[in-house]
Structure 1
Amino acid sequence: MLIITRKKGESLMIGDDIEITVSRIDDGSVKLGIQAPKNINILRKELYEQVESENKEATKINMSILKDIKKK
Protein backbone atom coordinates (compact mmCIF):
# COMPACT_ATOMS: atom_id res chain seq x y z
CA MET A 1 0.00 0.00 0.00
CA LEU A 2 1.26 3.45 -0.91
CA ILE A 3 0.73 6.13 1.76
CA ILE A 4 0.70 9.74 0.50
CA THR A 5 0.31 12.86 2.62
CA ARG A 6 -1.83 15.62 1.10
CA LYS A 7 -3.22 18.88 2.45
CA LYS A 8 -6.56 20.51 1.68
CA GLY A 9 -6.65 21.50 -2.00
CA GLU A 10 -3.81 19.16 -2.99
CA SER A 11 -4.29 16.30 -5.44
CA LEU A 12 -2.80 13.04 -6.57
CA MET A 13 -3.03 11.38 -9.97
CA ILE A 14 -3.76 7.75 -10.79
CA GLY A 15 -2.60 7.14 -14.32
CA ASP A 16 -3.17 9.97 -16.77
CA ASP A 17 -6.89 10.49 -16.26
CA ILE A 18 -7.89 10.02 -12.60
CA GLU A 19 -7.35 12.89 -10.17
CA ILE A 20 -8.16 12.71 -6.46
CA THR A 21 -8.31 16.03 -4.60
CA VAL A 22 -8.56 16.60 -0.85
CA SER A 23 -11.58 18.86 -0.60
CA ARG A 24 -12.12 19.12 3.15
CA ILE A 25 -10.60 17.81 6.37
CA ASP A 26 -12.69 17.52 9.55
CA ASP A 27 -12.21 15.66 12.81
CA GLY A 28 -11.78 12.05 11.78
CA SER A 29 -12.92 12.41 8.17
CA VAL A 30 -11.62 13.58 4.82
CA LYS A 31 -13.78 14.70 1.90
CA LEU A 32 -12.29 13.71 -1.46
CA GLY A 33 -13.14 14.90 -4.95
CA ILE A 34 -12.57 12.36 -7.71
CA GLN A 35 -12.31 13.33 -11.35
CA ALA A 36 -12.32 10.32 -13.65
CA PRO A 37 -13.66 9.23 -17.03
CA LYS A 38 -17.36 8.29 -17.00
CA ASN A 39 -16.55 4.68 -17.90
CA ILE A 40 -14.72 4.21 -14.57
CA ASN A 41 -16.93 2.91 -11.72
CA ILE A 42 -16.24 4.60 -8.39
CA LEU A 43 -17.75 2.96 -5.31
CA ARG A 44 -17.10 3.13 -1.58
CA LYS A 45 -15.33 -0.08 -0.59
CA GLU A 46 -18.12 -1.29 1.69
CA LEU A 47 -20.64 -0.86 -1.15
CA TYR A 48 -18.31 -2.60 -3.61
CA GLU A 49 -17.96 -5.55 -1.22
CA GLN A 50 -21.74 -5.73 -0.74
CA VAL A 51 -22.36 -5.78 -4.50
CA GLU A 52 -19.65 -8.42 -4.95
CA SER A 53 -21.19 -10.60 -2.23
CA GLU A 54 -24.69 -10.25 -3.69
CA ASN A 55 -23.39 -11.16 -7.14
CA LYS A 56 -21.78 -14.32 -5.73
CA GLU A 57 -25.03 -15.27 -4.00
CA ALA A 58 -27.02 -14.68 -7.18
CA THR A 59 -24.63 -16.96 -9.08
CA LYS A 60 -25.10 -19.73 -6.50
CA ILE A 61 -28.89 -19.49 -6.79
CA ASN A 62 -28.78 -19.55 -10.58
CA MET A 63 -26.43 -22.53 -10.61
CA SER A 64 -28.74 -24.54 -8.34
CA ILE A 65 -31.70 -23.71 -10.57
CA LEU A 66 -29.74 -24.85 -13.61
CA LYS A 67 -28.81 -28.12 -11.90
CA ASP A 68 -32.49 -28.76 -11.08
CA ILE A 69 -33.52 -28.06 -14.67
CA LYS A 70 -30.81 -30.40 -15.97
CA LYS A 71 -32.11 -33.26 -13.77
CA LYS A 72 -35.60 -33.03 -15.28
Structure 2
Amino acid sequence: MLVLARKKDEAIVIGDDIEIIITEISEDKVKIGIKAPKHMKIFRKELLAQVKEENLESASVKVDLEALAKAMKK
Protein backbone atom coordinates (compact mmCIF):
# COMPACT_ATOMS: atom_id res chain seq x y z
CA MET A 1 0.00 0.00 0.00
CA LEU A 2 1.26 3.44 -0.90
CA VAL A 3 0.52 6.08 1.76
CA LEU A 4 0.77 9.75 0.78
CA ALA A 5 0.21 12.97 2.70
CA ARG A 6 -1.87 15.55 0.84
CA LYS A 7 -3.22 18.99 1.75
CA LYS A 8 -6.50 20.58 0.67
CA ASP A 9 -6.66 21.11 -3.11
CA GLU A 10 -3.71 18.79 -3.72
CA ALA A 11 -4.17 15.76 -5.95
CA ILE A 12 -2.93 12.29 -6.74
CA VAL A 13 -2.85 10.95 -10.30
CA ILE A 14 -3.34 7.25 -11.05
CA GLY A 15 -2.38 6.14 -14.53
CA ASP A 16 -3.15 8.55 -17.34
CA ASP A 17 -6.78 9.32 -16.62
CA ILE A 18 -7.64 9.15 -12.90
CA GLU A 19 -7.16 12.09 -10.57
CA ILE A 20 -8.05 12.15 -6.87
CA ILE A 21 -8.34 15.63 -5.36
CA ILE A 22 -8.58 16.49 -1.65
CA THR A 23 -11.50 18.95 -1.55
CA GLU A 24 -12.08 19.39 2.18
CA ILE A 25 -10.48 18.39 5.45
CA SER A 26 -12.32 18.53 8.79
CA GLU A 27 -11.71 17.01 12.22
CA ASP A 28 -12.58 13.42 11.34
CA LYS A 29 -13.36 13.48 7.62
CA VAL A 30 -11.56 14.04 4.36
CA LYS A 31 -13.69 14.76 1.29
CA ILE A 32 -12.22 13.74 -2.03
CA GLY A 33 -13.16 14.36 -5.62
CA ILE A 34 -12.45 11.77 -8.29
CA LYS A 35 -11.97 12.60 -11.96
CA ALA A 36 -12.13 9.45 -14.06
CA PRO A 37 -13.53 8.31 -17.42
CA LYS A 38 -17.31 7.80 -17.39
CA HIS A 39 -16.96 4.09 -18.23
CA MET A 40 -14.95 3.49 -15.05
CA LYS A 41 -17.03 2.23 -12.12
CA ILE A 42 -16.35 3.91 -8.77
CA PHE A 43 -18.01 2.58 -5.62
CA ARG A 44 -17.68 3.04 -1.88
CA LYS A 45 -16.16 -0.11 -0.38
CA GLU A 46 -18.81 -0.48 2.34
CA LEU A 47 -21.58 -0.29 -0.28
CA LEU A 48 -19.99 -3.11 -2.29
CA ALA A 49 -19.73 -5.24 0.87
CA GLN A 50 -23.43 -4.63 1.62
CA VAL A 51 -24.49 -5.58 -1.92
CA LYS A 52 -22.34 -8.71 -1.78
CA GLU A 53 -23.93 -9.76 1.53
CA GLU A 54 -27.45 -9.17 0.18
CA ASN A 55 -26.65 -11.20 -2.94
CA LEU A 56 -25.41 -14.09 -0.81
CA GLU A 57 -28.61 -13.96 1.27
CA SER A 58 -30.76 -13.94 -1.88
CA ALA A 59 -28.90 -16.89 -3.34
CA SER A 60 -29.46 -18.97 -0.21
CA VAL A 61 -33.26 -18.61 -0.18
CA LYS A 62 -35.03 -21.91 -0.91
CA VAL A 63 -38.10 -21.70 -3.13
CA ASP A 64 -40.82 -24.34 -3.28
CA LEU A 65 -41.24 -24.41 -7.06
CA GLU A 66 -44.29 -26.69 -6.96
CA ALA A 67 -46.14 -24.37 -4.60
CA LEU A 68 -45.14 -21.40 -6.70
CA ALA A 69 -46.38 -23.08 -9.89
CA LYS A 70 -49.73 -23.90 -8.22
CA ALA A 71 -50.10 -20.34 -6.97
CA MET A 72 -49.43 -18.95 -10.43
CA LYS A 73 -52.10 -21.17 -12.02
CA LYS A 74 -54.81 -19.74 -9.75
TM range (shorter): 0.7 to 0.9
Moved over 2 A (4+): 55-61
Decide which structure has the larger Cα Rg and report it: 2
Unaligned runs of 5+ in 2: 66-74
Residue number in structure 2 paired with 1:51: 51
Count of residues paired in the alignment: 65
Unaligned runs of 5+ in 1: none
The one-character-per-residue Cα deviations of 1:35-71 (angstroms, maximum 9, x if unpaired) are 111111211111111012222233333xx55xx76xx
RMSD: 1.6
The percent identity for this pair of structures is 49
